[in-house]
Structure 1
């Protein structure tokens, strides 16, 4: 079916034979009906612009001019508006049509662009187009498609740690790809770490579905998994020992009866340092305190004074005695 005839049908310019021909074409195939509806939406410069028919500018303008001339002859009998004004408004309509088509095409092309988020030593807090928020720890890298008009909101974690606060949208699941694992959520908050071939998922609130190698499981708050791309065994769900995994979200360390080995492990990871506790007795000590927006020097000073400990540095390693 020629698009010229479909356009005539949409604007009511077909004669009886042409109208019957178009209607027979519509009834012959459901795809034909869909094509007609899409062309109607574009013609009215409204609706969903994602499936815009191919438009030839010269042919489109010719169609408008032809219908303008033919239409003006018919309208002269019934309409007292001067032909000059009629031509003016039809020309404006044609211009708006073409501008609308290409504006929508340009918008869709922009939304399809891939956006990369990357950090070095800094921490980033970024709002996504759907209203979700991501918190990237240092040395993290992720991609997301700016085309949020599709069925899913897709993100790819390439490396590092990211904490997601996902805006709830039951019609558009939020999907994160990390290596060979896929994480799907509707609205929740959780942490994902990609290191080498391993993916770690920890749920803070809500529920998260993890798919890997034909396996599927649902994680609830305070549950976690670590999955390797090469893993073939059943995925094991563990309980999160503390909330220190998300220290980078608010730059806050909340130690609650935390073993001193864990304290220095988290501080070392956060600040890129290596700490070694020499004494076995010291490693068994428990520590409770909260630090917000404080420097590593300030935190270490408080911890050492609490237990009357000493610290020496040798070859970029800090020894606690």
Structure 2
């Protein structure tokens, strides 16, 4: 199909350049190229900015075609159609030998989001998080970086290419497993759900198994039982917290939405509630649900929620 499209498109462009197309053929060519410029599937995290790639191809076309022969907008359609063909042939996705990996940054705002990496790994980011990764993994290791916030990693297995995450002063190394990382300032926590994970700092190293958590605070790395809230699938499914202390609810909301809770008194965390947290629910809707049950008042200031 790709070869057929390439043949037809090349034939029409060549015929048009020789000014031998009929009015109907010229209209077909214009309509096709305009449509492909506006509607082709485009994966920005993997392929880069569509407009920039189009401009690059467009600049290359100008070197070989006399601009007087074609209006500018028409040449841009040719560039757009060229992108379509290059994508179909896999040309845009193949890194050149010896080139440096192109790094991309994925940032979430008020709600959690996810992305799939080139190796098949899926990263679920909580709200107010930032993740740095290569468009394509090309070296002996798969290196990424959690710059801020909370994330759940479902890493594709590849024993030949270890997956390494830098988060603050911690380096987490796996071959294929699932785990959480929470980074806040100089503090970092890694909790394992499945598989085995190695966590290291400049002076210490810990191997973790499911249900365990590495905590890095005050320049010290320790091992402990994982926070129960981290083991909930907050990233991809609805959750019902049945008759639990508000402290547990606030902990889950902290991981999911990247907010901190300031409590007016010490009795609030012990209040027991039943709360339903839908996968795509907004933080505001969850707080309204708790307000209806407990009559507590919530005031949100940036990433801080005051509870009165």
Note closer, same or farther for the CA distance 1:103–1:124 as it changes in structure 2 (3 Å cut).
closer
Normalised to the residue count of structure 1, the TM-score between the two structures is 0.56
RMSD of Structure 2 on Structure 1 (CA): 3.4
Q: Distance in 1 between matches of 2:162 and 2:92?
A: 28
Tell whether 2:181 aligns with 1:192. yes
Greater mean deviation of Cα atoms: 235-244 or 127-136: 235-244
Tell whether 2:109 aligns with 1:123. no
Of the two, which has the highest radius of gyration? Answer: 1
Tell whether 2:222 aligns with 1:236. yes
Residue in 1 that maps onto 2:273: 287
Q: Distance in 2 between matches of 1:313 and 1:148?
A: 44
- Asked if structure 2 preserves the Cα contact closer than 8 Å seen for 1:243 and 1:254, the reply is no
Residue in 2 that maps onto 1:74: none
Alignment: residue pair count: 213
- Asked if structure 2 preserves the Cα contact closer than 8 Å seen for 1:155 and 1:175, the reply is yes
Note closer, same or farther for the CA distance 1:302–1:244 as it changes in structure 2 (3 Å cut).
farther
Note closer, same or farther for the CA distance 1:149–1:315 as it changes in structure 2 (3 Å cut).
closer
* Residue 158 (structure 2) aligned to one of 159, 169, 178: 169
Give CA-to-partner distance per residue, 1:169-225, whole Å, 9 cap, x none: 111110111222211101111111221122211111111111112322111111112
Q: Distance in 2 between matches of 1:104 and 1:123?
A: 27
Note closer, same or farther for the CA distance 1:148–1:262 as it changes in structure 2 (3 Å cut).
same
- Asked if structure 1 preserves the Cα contact closer than 8 Å seen for 2:211 and 2:225, the reply is yes
- Asked if structure 1 preserves the Cα contact closer than 8 Å seen for 2:143 and 2:164, the reply is yes
Residue in 1 that maps onto 2:148: 159
Question: Would you tell me which structure has more helix in proportion to its own residues?
Answer: 1
Q: Distance in 2 between matches of 1:251 and 1:132?
A: 18
Tell whether 2:122 aligns with 1:133. yes
Note closer, same or farther for the CA distance 1:194–1:104 as it changes in structure 2 (3 Å cut).
closer
More contact order relative to length (CA 8 Å, sep ≥ 6): 2
Q: How does 1:45-124 map to 2 (within 5 A)?
A: 107-108=96-97, 112-124=101-113
Greater mean deviation of Cα atoms: 189-198 or 240-249: 240-249
Residue in 2 that maps onto 1:178: 167
Q: Distance in 1 between matches of 2:115 and 2:300?
A: 37
SS in structure 2 of the partner of residue 156 of structure 1:
strand
- Asked if structure 2 preserves the Cα contact closer than 8 Å seen for 1:123 and 1:248, the reply is no
The unaligned stretches of length 5 or more in structure 2 are 1-90
The unaligned stretches of length 5 or more in structure 1 are 1-101
SS in structure 1 of the partner of residue 106 of structure 2:
strand
